[in-house]
């Protein structure tokens, strides 16, 4: 159960690799960079068993993770970090909420200014230092939790809600695909791979969106919804870390008036692949369109953190499927990884099928971070989606001062503040505290032989489902409009 177990394979690989001079420093940063792995192998604070020991005993004070320049390159400290003036509240305390509104995060400046991950790590290593304190360069740490990242599936909430507006099942299918393809760019704007925090067990994240064209604050609130202070015109979102080993996140979103919801769970499984880290995103999501009693099952692409020895970048890869058992429409989408030599990044291609047809009625190609084209069976071509031309709708999160103890931003606020102001000791200590608490609680449960109880999701077969989905709270249309769904007649 030790959280560092996940490290073992990558550590051995690194240590026995021809890169041995680097191996030590790399292994301490424990499997390195990257994003959506929920395993603790990406723990910046290391704690690689047996490695901290031999050299770690005589800690010669805390190395500054920030100060050292990257191997003669420009100093890494403060690069586009603008330590600046901390945002303060009127009582003089730090405004933690404002740290999350920092839109400039993506603008990390040129990579030349950062140097590589390796030079950054080497710059910290001093004789006799405690290697467990070597930290990841802040430019690859994202200052938010993985649970919050999942909410980016709804960065274009209007695209999601529009699914329910179409009267024709074919149009609904196409819109599900369009929404799905709009879902990946918002959280991955940076060209450098960013690794969000691994949520701790029981962590929760709530947010909502005001949807363009649907006025907020005029409709009644939905007190039994996932975000009980929101109204019927707002899209609401809840995420919970439902398991730590294996790391599984569950999330759910709904819009009351449009009678549409989405429920998903993702089990992240990381694999060290030599020069990159692969994260399998195992699980599925389900779009429920209550008006038509339809469910669209979607799967997720894998993530890859490439070039982990230099400047890591992220790509998505693998096939995903979208299908509706009731109408028989289905789609397959391939996220293409970049060929080793040449080739473009972030390419996708996809095909959408009518029930029973082998030939697609719609083909899609392009890039998930750019524009995608549609080619219809009759030869017509047109723009399908251009994610850079549609505005991201900002999610709304209640202030940390009003949050429950287990909510992401409240849990991680000291880590976020530490990273934001380059106080890496503070960030590392806060993170270590959280993780230690998690370990202690796990041990305590084990000793007392009690199971962890999830709060808002429960396991159902192979899935994790929200305990009180919209379909259980509003009248359901058992009989869909016959003109839309011929098989219903």
Ligand X SMILES: *[C@@H]1O[C@H](CO)[C@@H](O)[C@H](O)[C@H]1NC(C)=O
For ligand X, the closer of residues 321 and 483 by Cβ is: 483
From 439, 411, 414, 443, select the one nearest 429 (Cα to Cα): 414
The mark string for 187-206 relative to ligand X (x by CB under 6 A, - otherwise) is ----x---------------
The mark string for 380-419 relative to ligand X (x by CB under 6 A, - otherwise) is --------x-------------------------------
> Using CA atoms, how far apart are residues 272 and 482, in angstroms rounded to an integer?
51
Helix (H) or strand (E) holding 252: strand 248-255
For ligand X, the closer of residues 199 and 301 by Cβ is: 301
Lookup: tokens for 86: 């901390």
> Using CA atoms, how far apart are residues 83 and 104, in angstroms rounded to an integer?
12
Interface residue with ligand X among 110, 341, 475, 489 (CB under 6 A) is 475
- Report the chain's C-alpha Rg in angstroms: 23
From 444, 127, 161, 143, select the one nearest 291 (Cα to Cα): 161
Stretch that binds ligand X, among 76-84, 126-134, 242-250, 474-482 (CB under 6 A): 474-482
Stretch that binds ligand X, among 101-109, 263-271, 429-437, 475-483 (CB under 6 A): 475-483
> Quick one: residue 389, left, alpha or beta (phi over 0 = left, psi -120 to 50 = alpha)?
alpha
- The length of the chain is 489
From 274, 283, 277, select the one nearest 246 (Cα to Cα): 283
Q: Which of residues 344-373 bind ligand X (CB under 6 A)?
A: 345-346, 367, 369-370
From 34, 21, 25, select the one nearest 308 (Cα to Cα): 34
> Minimum CB separation from ligand X for residue 140, in Å?
14
Residue number, nearest CB to ligand X: 370
Stretch that binds ligand X, among 216-224, 412-420, 432-440, 472-480 (CB under 6 A): 472-480
Stretch that binds ligand X, among 10-18, 100-108, 210-218, 476-484 (CB under 6 A): 476-484
From 409, 348, 419, 455, select the one nearest 77 (Cα to Cα): 419
Interface residue with ligand X among 107, 224, 357, 481 (CB under 6 A) is 481
Q: Which of residues 266-295 bind ligand X (CB under 6 A)?
A: 291
Number of residues that bind ligand X (CB under 6 A): 12
For ligand X, the closer of residues 101 and 481 by Cβ is: 481
> Using CA atoms, how far apart are residues 473 and 96, in angstroms rounded to an integer?
35
Per CB under 6 A, residues contacting ligand X are 191, 291, 345-346, 367, 369-370, 388, 475, 477, 480-481
């Amino acid at each position: 159960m030790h959280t560092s177990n996940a490290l073992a394979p990558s550590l051995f690989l690194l240590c026995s690799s021809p890169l041995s001079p680097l191996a030590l420093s790399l292994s301490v940063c424990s499997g390195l960079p990257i994003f959506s792995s929920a395993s603790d192998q990406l723990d910046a604070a290391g704690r690689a068993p047996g490695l901290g020991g031999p050299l770690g005993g005589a800690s010669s004070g805390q190395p500054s993770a920030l100060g050292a320049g990257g191997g003669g390159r420009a100093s890494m400290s403060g690069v586009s970090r603008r330590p600046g003036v901390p945002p303060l509240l009127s009582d003089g305390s730090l405004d933690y909420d404002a740290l999350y509104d920092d839109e400039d995060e993506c603008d990390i400046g040129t990579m030349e200014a950062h140097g590589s991950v390796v030079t950054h790590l080497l710059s910290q290593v001093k004789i006799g230092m405690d290697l467990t304190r070597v930290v990841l360069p802040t430019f690859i740490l994202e200052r938010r939790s993985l649970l919050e990242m999942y909410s980016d599936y709804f960065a274009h909430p209007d695209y999601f809600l529009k699914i329910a507006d179409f009267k024709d099942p074919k149009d609904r299918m196409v819109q599900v695909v369009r929404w799905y393809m709009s879902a990946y760019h918002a959280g991955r704007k940076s060209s450098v791979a960013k690794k969000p925090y691994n949520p701790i067990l029981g962590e929760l994240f709530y947010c909502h969106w005001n949807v363009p064209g649907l006025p907020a604050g005029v409709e009644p609130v939905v007190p039994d919804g996932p975000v009980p202070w929101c109204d019927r015109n707002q899209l609401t979102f809840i995420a919970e870390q439902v398991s730590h080993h294996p790391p599984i996140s569950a999330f759910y979103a709904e819009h009351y008036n449009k009678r549409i919801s989405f429920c998903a769970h993702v089990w992240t499984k990381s694999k060290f692949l030599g020069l990159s880290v692969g994260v399998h995103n195992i699980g599925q999501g389900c779009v429920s369109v209550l008006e038509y009693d339809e469910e669209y099952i979607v799967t997720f692409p894998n993530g890859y953190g490439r070039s982990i020895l230099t400047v890591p970048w992220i790509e998505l890869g693998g096939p995903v499927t979208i299908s509706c058992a009731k109408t028989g429409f289905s789609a397959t989408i391939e996220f293409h990884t970049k060929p080793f030599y040449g080739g473009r990044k972030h390419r996708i291609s996809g095909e959408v099928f009518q029930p029973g047809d082998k030939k697609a009625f719609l083909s899609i190609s392009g890039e998930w971070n750019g524009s995608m084209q549609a080619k219809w069976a009759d030869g017509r071509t047109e723009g399908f989606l251009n994610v850079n031309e549609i505005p991201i709708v900002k999610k709304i999160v209640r202030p940390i001062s009003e949050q429950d103890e287990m909510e992401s931003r409240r849990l991680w606020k000291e880590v976020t503040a530490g990273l934001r102001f380059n106080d890496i000791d503070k960030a590392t200590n806060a993170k270590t505290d959280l993780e230690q608490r998690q370990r202690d609680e796990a041990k305590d449960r084990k000793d007392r032989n009690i199971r962890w109880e999830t709060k808002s999701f429960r396991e159902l077969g192979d899935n994790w489902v929200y305990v009180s989905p919209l379909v259980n709270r509003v009248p359901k249309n058992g009989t869909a409009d016959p003109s839309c769904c011929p098989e219903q007649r």
